Amino acid sequence: MFNLEPQSKRIAVAAGVFSLLLSGCGSTPQQSAAPVEPVRNTVQVVQENKDTPPQIIAKAQAAWQSTGDNTVRNDYLLDAVELFLEQGDQLSAQQVLSELANEVLNPAHSARFRLLAVKSQPIISNASVTQLIEWLNQQDAIPSALRSEYAELLHNLYSRQGDPIEAVNQLLLTARSEEEKAKASWNLISQLPESQLNAVSNSYPALAPYIALRQLAVQHAYNPVALAQAVNQFTTVYRSHPIVQHFPEEVTQAMAITPPQIDEIAVLLPLSGRLEGTGNTVKEGVLAAYYSQYQAEQSDENMPFLRFIDTNEKSAEQIIAQLGNASFIIGPLLKENVEALSEALPPSVSMLALNRLDADELQSLSASAENAPVLSTHQRINYFSLAPEDEAIQLANYMFSKGVRAPVLVHGQSALYRRMEQAFNSRWQFLVEQHGLAKANITTVSFSDSASLREGITRALDVEQSKERINQIDHMVNENVYNMPRSRHDIDAIVAFTSPQDTELLNPIIEASLTPYEGKVTNLYATSRSMEFTSAKNQWRDLQNVHFIDMPWVMPEHNWQTLQQSADTIWPERTTLQSRLFAFGVDAYTLLPSLGVLNTLPYTELQGLTGKLSINSYGEVERTLPHAVILRETIQPITD
């Protein structure tokens, strides 16, 4: 029938079956109309006969010559492929598969052929994961004996493709333990955005119980009695489900959370020196939240005592000496003070730092935190920061989700904007790799003044090169050429990490550089660092169609109008930066009683003035900012 060639000669055959796979179903073995046959346990056959793959192939050839029965022959050949793969000999396996590629296979053999053909492709091969998934899913009839293997293979492929929902959905169909399946499913559902939950529940019924548990945990997160009742009802309804047999530990912990007794709070801020203005603005936000609580409760019975400590030019030891009886700390603001206090803080004190550590220091501290005492059920130290890198990452996620693939990134020369540019680039590269794209198609423009900004934009959009080409043609033909410079067609967005003043200059430059008659709108995206809200009549005139993210507090029609009126009355001349710092102080105070829940249930959120607030596994407060666009000189929220 065929011979097993030496390895050098088998490479071409392996490449042949490889190309058969990628060419689609037109080159796959044809299926006969025969019913699905039971699949023999090939491993047991091999073990009983002690045959090597060449011996099994010889049996296949003998059976074919003596009986002409291709069913028996194909059984043997597929057994040989499976044994080759068990031995790690992919090339020999692919050679045998190439012999079967043009055969008419019954449904059972066809299913097994597809399974083994995909298994024979090494992970480092050039095979398209998407094509392999589609090829496996084209198999209509899968014998029950192969369903678990199919699911295992699809689980691995979907994981490589970066599709965690499909990966876990396939994992549930494998032969793995119920505990592993339950933990993987819960881990997935715990990380999904809330906006996706209902759609996932409808499309993947097997994941619906996990989603239902997460939703009831969020609904009753701040009422442990109601949470316990809801969990009891859930476990009754799903008493035989793996999620009940392997119940998530954090939900059990959440039922035991009691509101913390906060008698005294130490607020650590620079209230003198270089950062006096910043520290006092945050202090005003803390006080505003404190008095709002007092007005809501109409009693000082449960109100904590606030102790403000000036951290200017003080060591960690000096600050700790002034804590008094405070068991909760808000602050400090400076990173060096956060680093010092994170290591020296008494075990009886919890801290919501108003900055965060570098990644390496944070991981090191988190690794050693297991030996530190824990108050209630939340960790002792959390980190709340207005880091500009976080906004750059959120903007990258948003733009990529909207289909942007070739942005122009414009940034100023200051350290702040370079950090944002680096964070955006890193996240963009990750998203590109996760989705299997060829490269991160980003054009970067760095500028130092208005002249270099204009020159950088025109060059990035290819406008300057277009003008040069027109001039060259003009000289060649020795007569006037009537044409208009054209901009690049592949650019689909521009993102700006620039000051508010430079953003106002940037948008008109972009509009002037884009070819007007192409009818194409290229959006400009920005973060809060590029926006300044003033009372000037025409402040939005030069920012038409600018998409941006910012705190809810500075957006129009937010939910804190009474507080806004009071703040405007007391501080009528406050800048946008000061307003953001004020909101930072309000949220810092408001977060304290919720830290236990937010640390225990990482998918819970608190709607704050500075954004939707949640806490990650490192104890960092993560902010999700709303999106808006400037149209007709007004700010219009974007809800999708």
Pick the CATH number of 388-550+625-638 from 3.40.50.2300, 3.90.1170.50, 3.30.460.80, 3.30.420.40: 3.40.50.2300
pLDDT of amino acid 483: 44
pLDDT of amino acid 19: 52
pLDDT of amino acid 161: 83
CATH number of the domain at 178-254, please? 1.25.40.650
Confidence of residue 241 (pLDDT cuts 50, 70, 90): very high
The answer to whether residue 335 scores a pLDDT higher than 90 is yes
Domain 7-171 and domain 264-383+559-588 have a common topology? no
Q: Which helix (H) or strand (E) holds 497?
A: strand 493-497
pLDDT of amino acid 378: 43
pLDDT of amino acid 519: 55
What DSSP designation does 517 have?
Answer: G
Residue in 195, 285, 279 with CA at minimum distance from that of residue 553: 285
Helices (H), 38-89: 42-49, 53-67, 70-86
Pairing of strands 546-549, 407-411: unpaired
308-314: average pLDDT: 96
Residue in 46, 68, 52, 49 with CA at minimum distance from that of residue 1: 68
The answer to whether residue 433 scores a pLDDT higher than 90 is no
Q: How far is CA 577 from CA 80, 334, 417, 554, 574, in A?
A: 71, 17, 16, 10, 8
Q: Which helix (H) or strand (E) holds 410?
A: strand 407-411
207-217: average pLDDT: 96
The answer to whether residue 103 scores a pLDDT higher than 90 is no
The domain ranges of the chain are: 7-171, 178-254, 264-383+559-588, 388-550+625-638
Residue 614 bridge partners (DSSP): 622
Handedness of CA 403, 405, 411, 417 (dihedral sign): positive
Exposure on the CB side of residue 274, measured as CA atoms within 13 A: 3
The answer to whether residue 7 scores a pLDDT higher than 70 is no
What DSSP designation does 302 have?
Answer: T
pLDDT of amino acid 13: 43
Within 10 angstroms of residue 577's Cβ, the number of other Cβ atoms is 14
The answer to whether residue 334 scores a pLDDT higher than 80 is yes
pLDDT of amino acid 465: 46
Cα(48)–Cα(43) distance, integer angstroms: 9
pLDDT, one tens digit per residue, over 538-566 is 778 888 889 999 999 999 889 999 999 99
Q: Which helix (H) or strand (E) holds 267?
A: strand 264-269
Lowest mean pLDDT among 66-75, 379-388, 456-465: 456-465
Cα(246)–Cα(481) distance, integer angstroms: 75
448-462: average pLDDT: 87
Residue in 485, 486, 463, 461 with CA at minimum distance from that of residue 407: 461
CATH number of the domain at 264-383+559-588, please? 3.40.50.2300
pLDDT of amino acid 290: 96
Within 10 angstroms of residue 116's Cβ, the number of other Cβ atoms is 21
Confidence of residue 363 (pLDDT cuts 50, 70, 90): low
5-22: average pLDDT: 44
CATH number of the domain at 7-171, please? 1.25.40
Confidence of residue 123 (pLDDT cuts 50, 70, 90): low
| Lookup: tokens for 584 | 């930072």
Confidence of residue 484 (pLDDT cuts 50, 70, 90): very low
pLDDT of amino acid 346: 84
| Lookup: tokens for 60 | 């296949």
Helices (H), 378-414: 388-401
Mean pLDDT (the chain, rounded): 84
Lowest mean pLDDT among 109-123, 286-300, 476-490: 476-490
Q: Any residues with CB less than 8 A from the CB of 443 and at least 6 apart, and which?
A: 406, 407, 408, 409, 460, 491
120-135: average pLDDT: 75
pLDDT of amino acid 128: 78
The share of the chain scoring above pLDDT 90, in percent, equals 59
pLDDT of amino acid 379: 64
The answer to whether residue 274 scores a pLDDT higher than 80 is yes
pLDDT of amino acid 435: 80
| Lookup: tokens for 219 | 């609904």
The answer to whether residue 29 scores a pLDDT higher than 70 is no
Q: What is the pTM of this model?
A: 0.81
